[in-house]
């Protein structure tokens, strides 16, 4: 049995060692598989994968290019899109807060009101009292807060920028700073922002501010009333103050934080416009629709008709409203005849401080700046 197994093994080895059969042309029969054929198949697979990846990448690039080209035409055909991007009132940050409860944001000395500037328009208002009245304010109703406006403390009407609400974090922190310095702070959400009812527009925002200003003046007696606008709120502020000066009821001072010259120049400089700034016809596609929507916020024109003291605050590292626009606005105001009897001051904040667009409230110099400026703000003549 062992011999038989050995013979079978020997025959198998011989068969394996025997040369492959040749046909008449002395070539290997076609049934023989060469290793080269396997190598070719192996090479085709990675080449196929690479080609498929390039094909998908090319499709993605073409699709993105199509979207990039289509957006300007879409904006041009629907100017309301550009208006939405200017206001950003649909961006509510922080989202999960109850604007009826300012105490949830650490404002225990603040009352929430609702005013009605026009029919079908309701705006939410916060009134924060000065630090000296904090203890007395706890648990008090709206009537007490309204009466408190007549106490011997100045009032600041704060006009916030686009996006968010009156409960935005940086805004709340500013209210606290101003309150600690002895000011009443009255702020509100324009129609269409926060819990305020109505559709946003430049005219509507300005009218809301006028209504709140008149509401304050009816209760504040002889106390000074200052207007503070931030970012887009500077456009509302100069619209308001121009109108007040035209009717000869100017505020005691105007403070502009991170202002621009006009909305066209700001839109051209905004980070959102970077990818289209050099697009052929940029003004026609993107800026003209803003004007078509009735949005101008022409600070550079308004300051020529304003007659009250003006303070401009701007951080050099502001990424939203470039520093040079605030400086340009100051230069226009400083040479305007309307300010010849009033103080005009520009305060820059160095890049190293990192205050950017909305953190000037952190400056330890801010109390001194306000004290020195507002202490000399009323009808200061240059002699």
Would you name the residues annotated as active-site residues? 231, 318, 357
Distance (Å, rounded) from C-alpha 14 to C-alpha 2? 19
Q: Quote the tokens at residue 188.
A: 């509100």
CA–CA distance, 227 with 183 (Å, rounded to integer) = 12
Cα gap 213→244, rounded to integer Å: 10
The strand order across the sheet containing 225-230 reads 110-118, 121-128, 184-188, 155-159, 225-230, 253-257, 310-315, 344-349
Residue 146 Cα to chain centre, angstroms: 32
Measure the CA–CA gap between 323 and 318, rounded to whole angstroms: 6
Sign (positive or negative) of CA dihedral 315, 319, 323, 329: negative
Supply 132's token pair: 């000296």
DSSP bridge pairs for 172:
none
Long-range contacts from 280-283, C-beta under 8 angstroms, 24+ separation: 281/72
CB 81 within 8 A of CB 75: yes
């Amino acid at each position: 049995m062992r011999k038989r197994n050995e013979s079978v093994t020997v025959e198998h080895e011989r068969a394996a060692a025997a040369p492959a059969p040749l046909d008449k042309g002395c070539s290997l029969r076609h049934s023989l598989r060469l290793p080269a054929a396997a190598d070719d198949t192996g090479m085709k697979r990675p080449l196929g994968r690479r080609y498929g990846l390039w094909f998908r990448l090319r499709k993605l690039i073409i699709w993105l290019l199509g979207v990039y080209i289509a957006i300007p035409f879409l904006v041009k055909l629907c100017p309301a899109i550009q208006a939405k991007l200017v206001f950003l009132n649909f961006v509510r940050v922080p989202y999960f807060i109850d604007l009826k409860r300012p105490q949830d944001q650490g404002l225990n000395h603040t009352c929430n009101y609702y005013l009605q500037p026009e029919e079908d328009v309701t705006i939410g208002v916060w009134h924060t009292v000065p630090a000296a009245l904090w203890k007395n304010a706890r648990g008090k109703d709206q009537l007490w807060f309204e009466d408190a406006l007549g106490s011997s403390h100045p009032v600041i009407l704060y006009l916030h920028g686009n996006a968010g609400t009156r409960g935005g974090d940086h805004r709340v922190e500013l209210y606290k700073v101003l309150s600690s310095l002895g000011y009443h702070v009255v702020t509100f959400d324009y129609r269409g922002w926060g819990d305020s009812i109505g559709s946003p527009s430049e005219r509507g925002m300005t009218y809301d501010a006028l209504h709140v200003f008149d509401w304050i003046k009816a209760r504040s007696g002889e106390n000074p009333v200052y207007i503070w606008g931030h970012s887009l709120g500077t456009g509302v502020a100069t619209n308001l103050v121009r109108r007040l000066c035209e009717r000869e009821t100017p505020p005691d001072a105007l403070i502009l934080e991170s202002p621009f010259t006009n909305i066209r120049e700001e839109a051209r400089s905004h980070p959102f416009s970077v990818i289209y700034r050099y697009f052929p016809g940029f003004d026609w596609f993107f800026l003209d629709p803003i004007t078509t929507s009735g949005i101008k916020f022409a600070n550079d024109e308004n300051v020529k008709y304003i007659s009250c003291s003006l303070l401009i605050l701007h951080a050099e590292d502001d990424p939203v409203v470039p520093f040079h626009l605030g400086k340009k606005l100051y230069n226009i105001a400083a040479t305007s005849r309307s300010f010849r009897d009033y103080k005009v001051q520009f305060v820059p904040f160095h890049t190293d401080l990192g205050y950017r667009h909305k953190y000037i409230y952190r400056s330890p110099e801010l109390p001194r700046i306000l004290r020195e400026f507002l202490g000399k703000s009323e009808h200061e003549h240059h002699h």
